[in-house]
Amino acid sequence: MKIFRNVIIIFIVIITILWGLSFLLSSKYTVERSIIIAAPVDSVFSYVSDLKKWKYWSPWLSVESDTSINYSFSTSGDKTRMKWKSLKSGDGEVSIITTVPNQRITYSLKVEGFETHQRGEFLFGNFNGSTRVKWIDKGDLGPSPMSKYYIVVIENMIGSDFDRGLHNLKRAVEK
């Protein structure tokens, strides 16, 4: 009985310490990856700004061939939206918020099942005759102590998806 009581006390102390430490952690995260693509900036930019081409390189849309995709507004440029329904990747929506031709694309991403809306951007620049593409995603998981510990997992999950997507983009554009 004494051992059981000690185990319960230790468990409560550990939970209390983890809960207390969570107040020191940020609820905001940033994931960033980049790649060099052997193509002019305008070619790479036009490939990313056209949402109809995302199915060829997106790490989420390229995994399932029968994903249902709907587009709103124009297919490229500001205020463009793409919604998808997928068994493997889930349902979601990406909206291009702003573009600065050959420099930046800002988007918002919403995936069903996740309360957070992610905001991301692609930055484009010349790099020794090629194009450097930087993919950045920022989000806020809210004040929950448990969600703050989830940030550690997000860097790996989203980061590996970004790496895969950027390599898919490189293959598609350099073809």
Calculate mean pLDDT across residues 106-132.
86
pLDDT at 29 over 80: yes
The continuous run of DSSP H or E covering 52 comes out as none
Report the pLDDT value the prediction gives residue 25, as an integer from 0 to 100: 81
- Give the C-alpha separation, 116 to 112, whole Å: 9
Per-residue confidence at 64, pLDDT binned at 50, 70, 90? low
Measured over the CA atoms of residue 168, residue 169, residue 172 and residue 175, the dihedral's sign is: negative
Q: How far apart are the first and last CA of the chain?
A: 69
Starting at the earlier edge strand, list the strands of the sheet with 117-127: 28-37, 130-140, 117-127, 104-111, 92-100, 80-85, 68-72
The continuous run of DSSP H or E covering 149 comes out as helix 145-174
Task: Kindly state the DSSP code that residue 64 receives in the 8-state scheme.
Answer: -
pLDDT in tens, 134-155: 999 988 877 877 777 777 788 8
* Helices of type H across 96-144: none
Report the pLDDT value the prediction gives residue 117, as an integer from 0 to 100: 67
Compute CA distances 158 → 98, 99, 106, 129, 163, whole Å.
Answer: 22, 23, 17, 29, 9
One-letter identity of residue 60: W
Q: What is the CA radius of gyration of the chain?
A: 20
- Give the C-alpha separation, 92 to 169, whole Å: 20
State which of 29-43, 45-59, 128-142, 151-165 shows the largest mean pLDDT.
29-43
Per-residue confidence at 12, pLDDT binned at 50, 70, 90? very high
Whole-prediction pTM:
0.80
Hey, what domains does the chain have and what are their CATH numbers? 27-174 (3.30.530.20)
Cβ neighbours for 27, distance < 8 A, ≥ 6 positions apart = 140, 141, 142, 143, 144, 147, 148, 151
Calculate mean pLDDT across residues 56-71.
76
Residue 19 tokens read as 């809960």
